[in-house]
Amino acid sequence: MRFRRLNVEGVVEFCPEIHQDQRGSFVSPFTAESLAAYAGGEAFAAAQLSYSTSRRGTVRGVHFTRCPPGMAKYVCCLAGGIQDFVVDLRKGSPTFGRWDTTRLDGATMRALYIPAGVGHAFAVLRDDTVMSYMMSGPYRPALELALSPLDPDIALPLPDDPDLVLSERDRAAPTLKELDARGLLPHYAAARRGDGAR
């Protein structure tokens, strides 16, 4: 398993080896050993596994969870392709307000570890894209928050498509400045306590 650290503190991209023969292929995009070795020794106990399917032009996010309790995620594109975005929303983080992006697709099976307090979004590049999410806590709607993926101050390089498909929640989500003014941004220390096991 190869890895690469993104420009948001704590976010790690994992590049698994794909074994192929005449039958097809076999890949392990997640191993606890690799995560512990390359993500700063963070423990990660999966509490929920979820999948989403999306059509081309869909944008999901930028989503994050209140800290406490916080929630870390491990995401992988199983089929199709996305442009993935992570945004550091943790006040006091050395990379607060910074974002980074990477391409995830079913051909490479690259995956991302996203620590608690880091916002996550993606733009779907192909129809019938399937995303897998392992989460360190159960989904609780009352604890879930969103940042506008269209926030001009963050200026995520979303596809230049006038027909982007967003949920009503994501389209109406507040900007980073609005979240900050409402006291809804996670603090770095609390977010770090929210990583890993529940």
Catalytic positions are: 63, 133
State both tokens at 109: 């099976």
Contacts of 175 (CB under 8 A, 6+ apart): 147, 148, 151, 152, 153, 154
Count of CA atoms in the C-beta half-sphere (13 A) of 138:
2
Question: Using CA atoms, how far apart are residues 24 and 71, in angstroms rounded to an integer?
Answer: 35
Question: Using CA atoms, how far apart are residues 39 and 163, in angstroms rounded to an integer?
Answer: 37
